[in-house]
Each structure stands twice: as C-alpha cells, then as structure tokens.
C-alpha cells in the first residue's frame, strides 16, 4: 500500500515513486558541538511528503513506513552515511501513546532500515536498540505546539537505562520529523550520559 492507496508488492507505485524522486533531497549537516556529530534528513517536510507522514503517524497507516524506507534505502549517499554508525536508537514514545496509536512510527522505520541495510552490507551490521532510551511522560504532540512550548514540552520527558550498551558506540538517533530540534536535543543529551563514541541524527523529513 502506498500514498496513492494502491496495493503494490514493493509498497510503492510508480506514480508515488516519481513523486518521491522529485522531492528527494538527502542532506547531511555537520555539527560543531560536544554532543552531536551531524544530522541528516531525506525530504523537506512539505506537500506530498508532509501528507504521507501525517497519514503514517496520525491516520493509522503504519504500513507506510515501507514506502519511505524502500525508497531511501536505494540512495548510495544514505548507505554511506549509515556506515559510520553501530546502533540506531528510534525516538521513543510513551506507553500511553503506544497503546493509543498501536505502534511507534520511528521504531518501524528504524527496524526496516536496519534490516535492508544489513542485507546489502552483509558485514558491519547496524543494530536497533529500543530499550535504552525511554519516554516516561505522555507529553503533548510537538506538532501541535508553537516553538516556545515545544522546547519546554520535551524537557525531562526521557530517561536512560542499560547505558553499557551504548558506551564507545557510534549512535544514530532516528525520528520521523525534525522541526525545532528540541526532541532530538533532549534525546541526544540523555544518550551522551552513556559515553558513546559519537551521536548523529537522521530524520525522514525536516521542517525547513
């Protein structure tokens, strides 16, 4: 199933594949601070991409993660980008949000990306770790808040456990959308406590 609502064994019809190709804009931004190494995104959060993510995240279309991942995994620059990392940590959601929605949109993306990447690479496998960074509080959806409220909404919402799994590892935080960056900042600050070798960020789309 894809954005157009048509069944396809590759989860993406030709029409949508063309649209995604038109919107493709994989970019890596190097970060000069003691927490993040770099952040990358694949699309601008606008138009067709925004509509697809809203369907995926808020309109009970969990299968749409395949449409995104089956497309981006064919980008050589993206594959080269992943080579720098040992572990993917999907941004967690609270237990209450998980129960209501039925799935964590970032975890579905992370698992599929890791699965396909490892089949291509066959060595230096990347792992998804979902039991280290946890979200304790059921905060308001960031997308429904203004810039000022988004910053305070993310503070104190996450906690870290099983820190040893991340020590001296190259960690990639994965989320669906990058807006103000407050969620990513809070998550990366928590992960930094585990003494990883480096931390990077990848999101499907960025709100430019």
* 52 domain residue, yes or no: yes
Beta-carbon count within 10 A of 9 CB: 5
As for how many domains the chain has, the answer is: 1
* 170 domain residue, yes or no: yes
* 176 domain residue, yes or no: yes
* Residue 37: closest CA among 151, 170, 155, 193: 170
Split at pLDDT 50, 70, 90, the class of 152 is: low
* Chain segment 33-78, per-residue pLDDT in tens: 899 999 999 999 999 999 999 999 999 889 899 989 999 999 999 9
Among 15-19, 127-131, 185-189, 204-208, the range scoring the smallest mean pLDDT is 15-19
In contact, 179 and 186? CB cutoff 8 Å: no
In contact, 59 and 182? CB cutoff 8 Å: no
Enclosing domain of residue 72: 22-206
Q: What is the mean pLDDT of the chain?
A: 88
Residue found by looking up tokens 């905060």 in the block: 139
The rounded distance, in Å, linking the Cα atoms of 133 and 7 is 35
* 48 domain residue, yes or no: yes
* Chain segment 82-96, per-residue pLDDT in tens: 999 999 999 999 999
pLDDT of residue 151: 52
* 128 domain residue, yes or no: yes
Split at pLDDT 50, 70, 90, the class of 145 is: very low
Q: Within 13 Å and on the Cβ side, how many CA atoms surround 65?
A: 22
What is residue 51's DSSP assignment?
Answer: H
How far, rounded to the nearest angstrom, does the alpha carbon of residue 126 sit from its chain's CA centroid? 15
Among 110-124, 128-142, 144-158, the range scoring the smallest mean pLDDT is 144-158
In contact, 82 and 126? CB cutoff 8 Å: yes
* Chain segment 101-128, per-residue pLDDT in tens: 999 999 999 999 999 999 998 888 999 9
Q: What is the CATH number of the domain that holds 90?
A: 3.40.50
105 burial level (CB within 10 Å; 0-12, 13-18, 19+): buried
Residue 11 has pLDDT above 80, yes or no: no
In contact, 208 and 46? CB cutoff 8 Å: yes
pLDDT of residue 122: 80
What sign has the CA pseudo-torsion 114, 56, 46, 15? Answer: positive
3-state helix/strand/coil string of 71-135: HHCCCHHHHHHHCCCCEEEECCCCHHHHHHHCCCHHHHHHHHHHHHHHHHHCCCCCEECCCCEEE
* 2 domain residue, yes or no: no
The mean pLDDT of 2-20, rounded to a whole number, is 69
* 197 domain residue, yes or no: yes
* 9 domain residue, yes or no: no
What sign has the CA pseudo-torsion 107, 110, 113, 116? Answer: negative
């Amino acid at each position: 199933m894809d954005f157009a609502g048509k069944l396809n064994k590759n989860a993406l019809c030709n029409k949508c594949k063309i649209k995604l190709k038109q919107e493709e804009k994989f970019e890596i931004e190097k970060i000069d601070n003691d927490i993040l190494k770099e952040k990358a995104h694949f699309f601008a959060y606008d138009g067709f991409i925004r509509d697809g993510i809203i369907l995926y995240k808020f309109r009970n279309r969990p299968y749409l993660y395949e449409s995104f991942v089956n497309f981006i995994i064919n980008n050589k620059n993206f594959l080269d980008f992943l080579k720098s990392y040992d572990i993917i940590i999907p941004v967690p959601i609270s237990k209450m949000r998980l129960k209501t929605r039925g799935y964590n949109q970032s975890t579905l993306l992370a698992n599929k990306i890791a699965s396909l990447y490892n089949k291509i690479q066959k060595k230096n496998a990347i792992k998804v770790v979902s039991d280290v960074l946890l979200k304790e509080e059921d905060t308001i959806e960031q997308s429904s808040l203004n810039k000022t409220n988004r910053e305070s909404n993310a503070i104190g919402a996450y906690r870290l456990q099983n820190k040893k799994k991340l020590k001296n590892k190259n960690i990639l935080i994965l989320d669906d959308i990058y807006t103000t960056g407050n969620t990513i900042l809070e998550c990366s600050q928590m992960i930094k406590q585990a003494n990883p070798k480096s931390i990077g960020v990848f999101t499907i789309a960025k709100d430019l």
